[in-house]
Amino acid sequence: MPKVGSIMAVTLTINGERRSFDASPDMPLLWLLRDVARLTGTKFGCAAGLCGACSVLVDGVRVFGCQTPASAAVGKAITTIEGLTTQPLGKALIAAWNEVDVVQCGYCQPGQIVAAAALIADNPQPDDAAIDAGMSGNICRCGTYPRIRAAIRRAAELHAGDRA
Amino acid sequence: MTTATRRDVLIGSGIVTGALVVPVALGAGRSRAAGAPALAGNAWLGVDAAGQVTLALPKTEMGQGILTTITMIAAEELAVRPDQVKVSIPDGDAARFAPLSQETGGSTSVREVWQPLRQAGARARAALVAAAARQWGVADAQCDAQGGAVVHLPSGKTLPYAALVASAAAAPLPSDAPVRPASAYKVIGRFQRRLDGDAKARGTAEFGIDVVVPGMKFATLAVCPIFGGTLAGVDEAAARAVSGVTGVIRGKDVVYILADNTWAARQGLAAARPQWTAPPALAGAQHAPIIAAVAAALDQPGFVATTSGDLDAARKGAAHRFSATYTQPFLAHATMEPGNCVAHVHDGQCEIWTGSQVPSDARKAAAKRLDLALDKVTLHNRLMGGGFGRRLESDLVERCVDLARHVPFPVKLIWSREEDMAHDWYRPAYADRIDIALGADGTIAAWEHKIAGSSIIARLMGSAFKGVDDDVVEGAITPLYAAAARKVTFQQVESLVPTSWWRGVGPLRSAFVMESAVDEVAHLIGADPIAFRLAHIADPRAQVVLKTVRALSDWAESPAPGVGRGVSVIHLWDTYMAAVAEVHVDKDRQITVKRVTVAVDCGQVISPSGVIAQIDSGVIFGTSAALYGEITIADGRVEQSNFHDYRVLRINEAPRIHTTVIDNHEQPGGMGEPPNAVIFPALANAVFAATGKRVRALPLQKGLLTA
């Protein structure tokens, strides 16, 4: 009996590195990253595009990994939390997250930080309204939202300083 | 902070020589049977041969920050920086931690740990000081521990712990040593960043769902959506036709799909289209009758939890009488990290990796399920992406070993969000009736409180249960408000919906009802809600938190149209907390929470950042549930499935929160539960202030729209 969903070589650029995987091109990036590429910083929360825990950047745009088939990312630059934190903006975000002491359970935080990176890249000095709008796709059940607001403002400052 | 290795555990058990190991006598004060010798080693604080301070307590991390807090306490006594302490989450091991259960929940951790951990730290410090004093030939009193070394104060000469450990370990451990006085604190009460924050932010921290074991396969499952129903059929061929699917395993009420990755497993499950069957009594169960039965149970006499005075006599001549019924719905935990577990059953043994609030119970449950001796089962506990009580149940581990016993390789089982929500252990639905009589002198003459709902304690106690659920009535039997006569009763009523602990537990239910009712009584007699509370509360610490939120919340100022402020105050889990919530209700009766002012007296603060984080957390978690949270049942199954129909607050909906911490050195209170309990009634009272409509049936948004 023929198998449903053919497995083929899928070549992706993840955090600047070209990697090939034997996978279904339909497989959402979330599962490809976690189970196949073994990059577990990208988290599973809802698999329905509702919580943002699986956020990654594709050509700098925040996407939900659970809603993005691997085939849609072929030929594009995928940045996960692991790659983001080696870049200046990612470093600023981690520094701010630590300074403000944002994290509680921490499960949603990589997705929050990826979303924050896209927000700051688009709007280098976001005010609270811009933060609320830009971050409303990410759920945190621990209620770290007040500190996320503060950390994004702080990361924007740090990142602006880096670039000055 | 790093994860302890096997060697650290050996140090902890005293097997490695040359290390100083001090037992932390957790549970000594609560133990009925065991004496001190039996407690030795149930948890430990150590200094290894290299001078490294190591700590392992039966407490685990789900976001509440306990690993940071206990590390701060140990660091204070041993005069090191918190980031120099190696703290680990122990494997599940009931024997080692007996008589204390290896359980994290109920806002108990700091309250249990505070005294014994400091005492252990003080004894370790005294042993190191004595070793240095012996070496120098000086009096112990001339020496003190500073910066991971012992200092001879008159001369300033130092010896690092590494140079003292062998000598300290060889000498008898000092039986007692004074703990550091609060005036000398260098760590406790000072800002300390969470020790696990950086790794979690970077995505490098390992949660249960991130565990990778060599040779591991992936799996997902579907359990019969009708509570109590069974699997009737599954299209196994269709599932196996999905690329990457390697197996279909059926159970009585469950089907598992094994695959090379989670995506293939999920695709396989969709293709398998499992069919279910259940008897009509289960398949026909509907929400309204289930809830009606809870409310109807209030008409039974109930089992008496506390009674004092003569209610009938006290009601005679009452100037005012108030009675109302409040209802609270089933709630899901909806932790960000869905259910998951990794297990490997092979060669008559089982190894488990998961995040559990009850690792030793979960290990026992797995052994029982597999019919293995307990020592053949190992459970490695991992960080949890939220707990809120969900991971106090062992069903995730049980389901995983049910699967793993069928295959020779390790398997990672992941619940979909939909499965997680359909098969939670829900916060019970409750009904409360409260009847308050004010005497002619304005004092509370009579206070009768009847409670009905599911009893988690009854399930856990079995035949030993005598009718009163001590969790449900907690808070209700210890009100802040004096009354001449009082009676509190409980009546158990069960349905097919499984119930368990949910952040805030019984006292949250009590707080919503009592603080709503007191607010109603204040309005009934035209009194200011804070002034009324202050007039009826004698406890000075409760008075202080109330006065603090009154001063800081613009309480005296008239709010804008559509805006209302509501107050509540609690003394639960040894913590005092008051909150003023400010809500806006628009013309479509949509509620927005604008800001929340909180004052807390939780005694000695250990981690100030942690205390404030817990308040943000409880306020937002509680606001989600108070406004929107409700699990409903149709045809024997849960109707909600994901975050689109089980609404939780997003950042754009989160209130501004202003917290004031009362500074004192009283015994530390719990912080995980209280803010969640205080916010429910504050919001209900604010909605009343904004609209004039009293919502007595949660959730508030639905209640207001139907009021």
CB B290 within 8 A of CB B443: no
Q: What ipTM does this complex have? A: 0.98
Which CATH code for domain B6-193?
3.30.365.10
Query: Structure pTM?
Result: 0.95
Q: Closest approach of chain A CAs to the CA of B702, in angstroms?
A: 21
**What was the pLDDT predicted at B363?**
96
Chain B residues closer than 8 Å to A82 by CB: 202-204
**A40 is a domain residue:** yes
Chain B residues closer than 8 Å to A93 by CB: 201
**What was the pLDDT predicted at A150?**
98
Residue B57's pLDDT band, with cuts at 50, 70 and 90, is: confident
Q: In terms of residues, how long is chain A?
A: 164
Chain B residues closer than 8 Å to A103 by CB: 194, 196-197, 200-201
CB B331 within 8 A of CB B390: no
B interface test, pick of A43, A101, A131 with most B CB neighbours within 10 Å: A101
Chain A residues closer than 8 Å to B264 by CB: 5, 24, 27
B38 pLDDT exceeds 60? Answer: no
Q: Closest approach of chain A CAs to the CA of B654, in angstroms?
A: 7
Q: Which tens digit of pLDDT belongs to each residue from A121-150? A: 999 999 999 999 999 999 999 999 999 999
Domain containing residue A129: CATH number: 1.10.150.120
* Domain C-terminal end among A32, A51, A80: A80
Claim to verify: residue A76 and residue A101 sit in the same structural domain: no
**What was the pLDDT predicted at B18?**
74
**What was the pLDDT predicted at A3?**
74
Give chain A's domain count. 2
A163 pLDDT exceeds 80? Answer: no
Mean pLDDT throughout B279-303?
98
Residue B262's pLDDT band, with cuts at 50, 70 and 90, is: very high
Claim to verify: residue A35 and residue A66 sit in the same structural domain: yes
Q: What share of chain B is helix, strand, coil (3-state, %, to 5)?
A: 35, 25, 40
Q: Please give the Cα distance from A120 to A131 (Å, whole number).
A: 9
Best CA proximity match to B43, nearest among B363, B273, B360: B360
CB B575 within 8 A of CB B516: no
Query: Strands A77-79 and A61-64: what pairing?
Result: unpaired
Q: Do B416 and A47 touch (CB under 8 A)?
A: yes
What b/e sequence results for A56-80 when a residue is b if at least 16 CB atoms lie within 10 Å of its CB, and e otherwise?
bbbeeebbbbbebbbeebeeeebbb
Distances (CA, A) of A163 to A92, A116, A135, B131, B348: 11, 17, 23, 54, 60
Residue B4's pLDDT band, with cuts at 50, 70 and 90, is: very low
In terms of residue numbers, what domain contains A132? 85-163
Among A2-6, B81-85, B656-660, B674-678, the least confident range: A2-6
Q: Which tens digit of pLDDT belongs to each residue from B139-167? A: 999 999 999 999 999 999 999 999 999 99
Our CA angle for B408, B409, B412, nearest 5°, is 130
Secondary element (H or E) of residue B490? strand B485-492
For B135, the token pair is 């070496």
Q: Do B609 and A145 touch (CB under 8 A)?
A: no
**What was the pLDDT predicted at B667?**
96
Q: Do A131 and B651 touch (CB under 8 A)?
A: yes
**What was the pLDDT predicted at B65?**
94
Residue of A nearest to B332 (CA): A141
CB B543 within 8 A of CB B534: yes
Domain B6-193 identical in fold to domain B208-278+339-414: yes
**What was the pLDDT predicted at B475?**
97
Q: Please give the Cα distance from B514 to B504 (Å, whole number).
A: 15
Q: Which residue type occupies B128?
A: L
Q: Which tens digit of pLDDT belongs to each residue from B381-432? A: 999 999 999 999 999 999 999 999 999 999 999 999 999 999 999 999 999 9
Chain A residues closer than 8 Å to B617 by CB: 104, 142-144
Q: Helix (H, G, I), strand (E, B), or coil: what is residue B687?
A: helix
- Which residues are A56's β-sheet partners? A63
CB atoms inside a 10 Å sphere around CB B34:
14
Q: Closest approach of chain A CAs to the CA of B618, in angstroms?
A: 7
**A3 is a domain residue:** no
Claim to verify: residue A102 and residue A57 sit in the same structural domain: no
Residue B99's pLDDT band, with cuts at 50, 70 and 90, is: low
For B585, the token pair is 């209700």
B interface test, pick of A3, A105, A109 with most B CB neighbours within 10 Å: A105
Q: Which tens digit of pLDDT belongs to each residue from B63-95? A: 999 999 999 999 999 999 999 999 988 888 877
**What was the pLDDT predicted at B42?**
55
**What was the pLDDT predicted at B7?**
37
Q: Closest approach of chain A CAs to the CA of B575, in angstroms?
A: 20
Q: Please give the Cα distance from B221 to B206 (Å, whole number).
A: 23
**A1 is a domain residue:** no
**A24 is a domain residue:** yes
CB B617 within 8 A of CB A147: no
Residue of B nearest to A145 (CA): B651
**A130 is a domain residue:** yes
B537 pLDDT exceeds 80? Answer: yes
Claim to verify: residue A22 and residue A76 sit in the same structural domain: yes
* Domain C-terminal end among A58, A80, A102: A80
Chain B residues closer than 8 Å to A54 by CB: none
B527 pLDDT exceeds 70? Answer: yes
CB B6 within 8 A of CB B15: no
Place of tokens 């409750």: B430
Claim to verify: residue A27 and residue A92 sit in the same structural domain: no
**What was the pLDDT predicted at B5?**
39
- In terms of Cβ atoms closer than 10 Å to its own Cβ (0-12, 13-18, 19+), residue B172 is exposed
Q: Do B262 and A31 touch (CB under 8 A)?
A: yes
Chain B residues closer than 8 Å to A113 by CB: 201
B479 pLDDT exceeds 90? Answer: yes
In chain B, where the domains are located: 6-193, 208-278+339-414, 288-330+427-705
Claim to verify: residue A71 and residue A116 sit in the same structural domain: no
A2 pLDDT exceeds 70? Answer: no
Mean pLDDT throughout B365-369?
98
Residue of A nearest to B207 (CA): A107
Claim to verify: residue A123 and residue A73 sit in the same structural domain: no
**What was the pLDDT predicted at B35?**
34
Q: In terms of residues, how long is chain B?
A: 707
Q: Please give the Cα distance from B672 to B666 (Å, whole number).
A: 18
Which CATH fold topology does B288-330+427-705 show?
Aldehyde Oxidoreductase; domain 4 (3.30.365)
Options 3.40.50.1980, 3.30.365.10, 3.40.710.10, 3.10.20.30; CATH for B208-278+339-414 is 3.30.365.10
* Domain C-terminal end among A49, A80, A111: A80
**What was the pLDDT predicted at B95?**
75
Average pLDDT, chain B: 93
B14 pLDDT exceeds 70? Answer: no
CB pairs < 8 Å spanning A and B? 208
Q: Closest approach of chain B CAs to the CA of A6, in angstroms?
A: 6
Place of tokens 């409260």: B434
Q: Do B385 and A105 touch (CB under 8 A)?
A: yes
Among A18-22, B37-41, B314-318, B576-580, the least confident range: B37-41
- B258: alpha, beta or left? (left if phi > 0; alpha if psi -120 to 50): beta
Secondary element (H or E) of residue A159? helix A145-163
For A80, the token pair is 């996960």
Q: Which tens digit of pLDDT belongs to each residue from B194-206? A: 999 999 999 999 9
**What was the pLDDT predicted at B17?**
57
Mean pLDDT throughout A51-63?
98
- Residue scoring higher pLDDT (B25 or B207): B207
**A134 is a domain residue:** yes
Claim to verify: residue A91 and residue A157 sit in the same structural domain: yes
B535 pLDDT exceeds 60? Answer: yes
**What was the pLDDT predicted at A4?**
73
How many Å separate Cα B71 from the centre of its chain?
A: 19
Q: Please give the Cα distance from B539 to B547 (Å, whole number).
A: 12
Q: Helix (H, G, I), strand (E, B), or coil: what is residue A140?
A: coil
Q: Helix (H, G, I), strand (E, B), or coil: what is residue B378?
A: strand
Claim to verify: residue A93 and residue A75 sit in the same structural domain: no
Q: Closest approach of chain B CAs to the CA of A23, in angstroms?
A: 9
Residue B40's pLDDT band, with cuts at 50, 70 and 90, is: very low
Picking from B263, B386, B609, the nearest residue to A142 by CB comes out as B386
Q: Please give the Cα distance from B249 to B536 (Å, whole number).
A: 62
Claim to verify: residue A56 and residue A71 sit in the same structural domain: yes
B367 pLDDT exceeds 90? Answer: yes
Q: Closest approach of chain B CAs to the CA of A3, in angstroms?
A: 5
Among B76-90, B96-110, B600-614, the least confident range: B96-110
**What was the pLDDT predicted at B238?**
98
Q: Closest approach of chain B CAs to the CA of A30, in angstroms?
A: 9
Claim to verify: residue A143 and residue A159 sit in the same structural domain: yes
Chain B residues closer than 8 Å to A116 by CB: none
CB B111 within 8 A of CB B9: no
Share above pLDDT 70 across residues of chain B, in percent, rounded to a whole number: 95
Claim to verify: residue A75 and residue A91 sit in the same structural domain: no
Residue B34's pLDDT band, with cuts at 50, 70 and 90, is: very low
Residue B32's pLDDT band, with cuts at 50, 70 and 90, is: very low
B663 pLDDT exceeds 60? Answer: yes
Residue B8's pLDDT band, with cuts at 50, 70 and 90, is: very low
A interface test, pick of B262, B263, B390, B671 with most A CB neighbours within 10 Å: B263
Secondary element (H or E) of residue B487? strand B485-492
Distances (CA, A) of B460 to B451, B469, B471: 19, 11, 12
